Structure 1
Amino acid sequence: MLRLLDIFFAFLGLVLGFPLLFVVYVVGLFDTGAPLFRQERVGRNQKPFTLVKFRTMRVGTASVASHLADAQAITPMGQFLRRTKLDELPQLWNVLKGDMSLVGPRPGLFNQTELLNARQRNGVFSVRPGITGLAQVNGIDMSTPELLAEMDAKMLANLTIAGYFRFIFQTVMGGGRGDAVGK
Structure 2
Amino acid sequence: MSNLANEDVNYLRNQKSSVNVSNGKVYLLTKRLIDIIGSLCGIILLSSLFLIIAILIKVEDPKGTIFFSQKRVGLNGREFKMYKFRSMVSNAEEKLSELLKFNEINGAMFKMKDDPRITKVGRFIRKTSIDELPQLINVLKGEMSLVGPRPPLPREVTEYSPYDKQRLLVTPGCTGLWQVGGRSNLSFQEMIELDLQYIERRSFLIDVKIILKTVLVLLGSKDAY
Query: Which TM-score bucket, shorter chain as reference?
Result: 0.7 to 0.9
Aligned partner of 1:13 in structure 2 is 42
Q: Does 1:79 align with 2:123?
A: yes
Partners of 2:114 and 2:174 in 1: CA distance = 23
Structure having the higher Rg: 2
Aligned partner of 2:134 in structure 1 is 90
Partners of 1:53 and 1:66 in 2: CA distance = 17
Moved more, 28-37 or 71-80: 28-37
Aligned partner of 1:30 in structure 2 is 59
> Which of 139, 142, 146 lines up with 2:189 in the alignment?
146
- Gap change, CA 1:116 and 1:47, over 3 Å in 2: farther
Q: Which has the higher contact order (CA 8 A, sep 6+)?
A: 2
Aligned partner of 1:50 in structure 2 is 81
Partners of 1:12 and 1:116 in 2: CA distance = 38
Gaps of 5+ in 2: 1-29, 97-108
Aligned partner of 1:102 in structure 2 is 146
Q: TM-score if structure 1 supplies the norm length? A: 0.88
- Gap change, CA 1:85 and 1:116, over 3 Å in 2: farther
- Gap change, CA 1:59 and 1:141, over 3 Å in 2: same
**Cα deviation, residue 66, structure 1:** 4.5
Output one character per residue of 1:45-80: Cα deviation in whole Å (capped at 9) or x when no partner.
111000000011111112765415961111110011
Partners of 1:54 and 1:116 in 2: CA distance = 31
Partners of 1:57 and 1:145 in 2: CA distance = 23
Q: TM-score if structure 2 supplies the norm length? A: 0.72
Indicate the percent of aligned positions where both proteins have the same amino acid.
35
Aligned pair count?
Answer: 177
Q: What is the RMSD computed on CA atoms of the aligned residues?
A: 2.2
Asked if the contact 1:118–1:145 (Cα under 8 Å) also holds between the matched residues in 2, the reply is no
Partners of 1:55 and 1:174 in 2: CA distance = 19
- Gap change, CA 1:115 and 1:55, over 3 Å in 2: farther
